[in-house]
Amino acid sequence: MSTLRLRGRTFGPGDHAIMAVVNRTPDSFYDRGATYGFAAALDAVSRQIDAGADIVDIGGVKAGPGDDVDVAEEIRRVADLVTAVRDRHPAVIISVDTWRAEVGEVVAAAGADLLNDTWGGVDPRLADVAAKYGIGLVCAHAGRVEPRTRPHRIAYDDVVGDVVAYTTDLAEKALAAGVSRDRILIDPAHDFGKNTYHSLELSRRLDEMVATGWPVLVAVSNKDFVGETLGGLPVDQRHAGTLATLAVSAAQGARVFRVHDAASARKVLDVVARQP
């Protein structure tokens, strides 16, 4: 199993790294823009670190459909925040959620340690940016859909097989582009290009991704598949389902956990780590 190394920290098999979400978007599905303001976002970063986050994932574009955000606007939202977080928290691992190489170039120069490409390599130049700056890259499976779109009746012969093949291919391409093996993660990207059944199947069989040897990131926090599984619960009532899914993922060997509530996630993962 590969060891993950980011900003001088090492996460080996059995280690759990918490990646806390801080979105500089006015239309986030979770907080509805509570951290869109610069000061609010920076303070949120500090709170998440105090709560136990190892990584802070900064995003400037809502994942789902919404108002257009061009490259310049995305950079405006995230670049200065990366600089400020690096100044205030020199040791924290900074991730930026983007699929655009132009954005990746700017935030890497500003001090980011990881590029979180949740849309599955739609811009292959992002791997070149990660290689150039010696930083990490998340290789995700988004069902080959366009960024910020929802799939219509998407189907797979075997969703887990498709996810494993696609993410490991992206990881090998990143390696060939010059990204260090110990800075590459794979992510099934629950709900991205998938329906609830697909996301649940991925959660049940996550060990098949772990078995590839690449460190696995899971991003399940308050997602739609959790709400639908529990009878159609709204976002603000998905906390218990989120924690249950985190525990299942950790028990199967996931390494990094992207969450909205770092403190609760840390408690759950600590319990899993103490199991014989």
Give me the active site residues, please: 223, 258
- Strand pairing report for 93-97 and 114-117: parallel
* C-alpha pair distances (Å), 147 with each of 31, 98, 119, 124, 247: 21, 10, 6, 14, 29
Sign of the Cα pseudo-torsion (56, 58, 62, 64, in order) = negative
DSSP symbols for 214-236:
S-BEE--TT-HHHHHHTTS--GG
Residue 51 burial (C-beta neighbours within 10 Å; 0-12, 13-18, 19+): middle
- DSSP 8-state secondary structure symbol assigned to residue 146: P
Residue with tokens 């028990």: 251
| Distance between CA atoms of residues 31 and 20, nearest Å | 13
| Distance between CA atoms of residues 240 and 104, nearest Å | 34
Give residues with Cβ within 8 angstroms of 270, minimum separation 6: none
Sign of the Cα pseudo-torsion (141, 187, 76, 41, in order) = positive
CA 24 to chain centre: 15
